[in-house]
Amino acid sequence: MPHRHIRSTRLYCVALALVAVLSSSAIGANAAHAAQDERVVQQIVLIRHGIRSPTAAPDALAVYASELWPAWPVDPGQLTPHGAELMRSLGAWYLQSLVSSGIAPSACSSAANIKLIADSTPRNRDSAAALQSGLSPSCPRSFFAFAPNQPDPLFRGSGDEDADAPITHPSPMPALTDLQQVLLNCHDAECLANAQANGKKVLLGMAPAKALKSAGTLSENLMLEYAQGLPLAQVGWGRLDAAGVGHVITLHNLQFALAKKTSAAANARGGNMLAHIAATLTAAAGQSTKLPPLAPASDKAVILLGHDTDLASQAGLLGLNWHNTEQPDDYPPGGALIYQLIESHGRYAVRLQIALPTLAALRAGDVSTIGAMHVASLHLPGCQGANTCPLAAFQALVAKTVQANAIVSGTGNEPAVQ
C-alpha cells in the first residue's frame, strides 16, 4: 500500500509538471501572439543633447578646486566634436530601432516621416544636425528650430528655465564628502579651513541646499570630463574612475529630484511639452485635440532634442523613476524618454521607455556595440503601474497633472533648418 501511494504521488507530480509546462508554453505563445497583434503607430523621443563643455569657464570654476580645471576644445556650454560623434551614432541606433519596429522602412523612404525638433541653443541645434546625419546618412533632411537662443516654449515652458523648487530638507548626501575629496584632494577640518583661508568655496561648509545645488553642477562637470574621453589623469585630477564618476553623479540626480521634479517646477518647465506630446499621440490615434499636435499623424516618429531639465520635468509630472546602476547618471548626454503609441485590435495605448547610453558608450562616442544602451520599459504610477497605459487613461493623467497656466499658445511652429 505505501508503495502504491508513492507511485501514485509521483504520477500526480509528473502530471502537474506536464500541465505547468503546457501552461507556460501557452502563456508564452499567447504573449508572442499579442506582441504580433500590436503595432507601433507613432513614437515620440525626448532626447538630451550630446556631450558639451561645462557651462562655466575653468576660471569661474577655479574657486571650488585646489588645481586647475582642464581645458576644453570648445567654448563653455557648446557641443564638442566628440559629442557630435555620439549623436551621429545615436541617430544610426534610432534609425535601426525605428526600422525594426516597423515605423521607418528605410533611411530615405518618404514613408519614414521622422520630424526632428530641437531647442534653439547652439548645442541643441548642433546636436540635431549630427543626429539627423545618423538618421539619414545618404539623404540629408532638415530639422526644425528657432533662431539660435530664441526662447522656444516647447522646451522652456512657461517659467524661468533655471527656476528651481526651494530645497528645504535635503536628503542625506553621502557622496558630498567624496566630491569634496576630489575637488580639494582632502576633506579634513584643517584642510577645509586652509582652503577657505585661500578663498576657496568649500561644499562641506555650506548650507545643505546651497551645497547640493553647487554639487549637482560640479559632479556633472566631472562626468562630462569622463564622457568627453579626457585622459584619466585629467578626470577629477586623476582621482576618479568610472565607478567614482558614477558615485558622485548621484548628487546631480538628487539635486534634480528635489529641485526639478516637484509639481510646480515640472509644470513650469515641462507641463506645456507634456500636454503637446499627449495631443500629438491623440491625433495619431485619429482623435480630435484641443491643442495642435507637434506633427501630423502621418509622421510616425517625432524627436524632441532638449535638455536634462526637460527629462527631469517629464519624470516629475508623470511620477517616473528610472535610476539604474548600468547608467548611474539619470540624465546623461543622449539619454532619452520614449513615448510609444501602440494599437492592438483597434485599441490604443501608450508605452513609455527609457534609453540611456552607458558611461562607457559616452566615453567611446559610440552606441553601436552590444550593451551600449540601457533600454527599459517604465511603469506609469497613474495607470496602475502597468507597462502600457490605455490612451484614455494617459490622457486623463496628463489632464489631471498639467496645470492650465502651463500651456503656452503658439507652441510647435519652429521653422525648418536646412
Amino acid 13: pLDDT: 40
Rounded distance between C-alpha atoms, residue 346 and residue 276, angstroms: 23
Nearest to 256 by CA among 277, 275, 270: 270
pLDDT at position 19 over 80? no
Q: CB–CB of 150/121 below 8 Å? A: no
| Total structural domains within the chain | 2
Region of poorest pLDDT, from 48-57, 289-298, 340-349, 380-389: 380-389
Rounded distance between C-alpha atoms, residue 417 and residue 128, angstroms: 10
Judgement on whether residues 240 and 268 belong to the same structural domain of the protein: no
Nearest to 74 by CA among 147, 146, 123: 123
Q: Identify the three-state secondary structure at position 240.
A: coil
Query: Domain boundary at 207, 239, 257, which?
Result: 257
Query: Domain boundary at 238, 257, 276, which?
Result: 257
Judgement on whether residues 155 and 194 belong to the same structural domain of the protein: no
Judgement on whether residues 244 and 282 belong to the same structural domain of the protein: no
Rg over alpha carbons for the chain, rounded to the nearest Å, is: 24
Judgement on whether residues 153 and 299 belong to the same structural domain of the protein: yes
pLDDT tens sequence across 63-120: 999 999 999 999 999 999 999 999 999 999 999 998 888 887 655 654 458 999 999 9
Judgement on whether residues 211 and 292 belong to the same structural domain of the protein: no
Judgement on whether residues 111 and 129 belong to the same structural domain of the protein: yes
Q: What is the mean pLDDT of residues 140-150?
A: 91
Q: Which three cell numbers stand for residue 118?
A: 530641437
Domain annotation covers residue 245: yes
Q: Residue 168's pLDDT band (boundaries 50, 70, 90)?
A: low
Q: What is the maximal distance between C-alpha atoms in the chain?
A: 91
Judgement on whether residues 243 and 273 belong to the same structural domain of the protein: no
Average pLDDT of the residues of the chain: 88
Dihedral angle computed from the Cα positions of residues 79, 80, 83 and 88, in that order, rounded to the nearest 10 degrees: 90
Q: How far is the first Cα of the chain from the last one, in angstroms, to the nearest whole number?
A: 87
- Length of the chain in residues, anyone? 418
Rounded distance between C-alpha atoms, residue 359 and residue 245, angstroms: 9
Query: Domain boundary at 257, 280, 312, which?
Result: 257
Q: Kindly list the distances between the CA atom of residue 5 and the CA atoms of 19, 208, 288, in Å, as whole numbers in the listed order.
A: 21, 70, 67
Strand partners, 47: 305, 336
Residue matched to cell numbers 508503495? 3
Domain annotation covers residue 29: no
> What are phi and psi for residue 227, nearest 5 degrees?
-65, -35
| Enclosing domain of residue 251 | 174-257
Judgement on whether residues 82 and 217 belong to the same structural domain of the protein: no
Judgement on whether residues 65 and 109 belong to the same structural domain of the protein: yes
Domain annotation covers residue 8: no
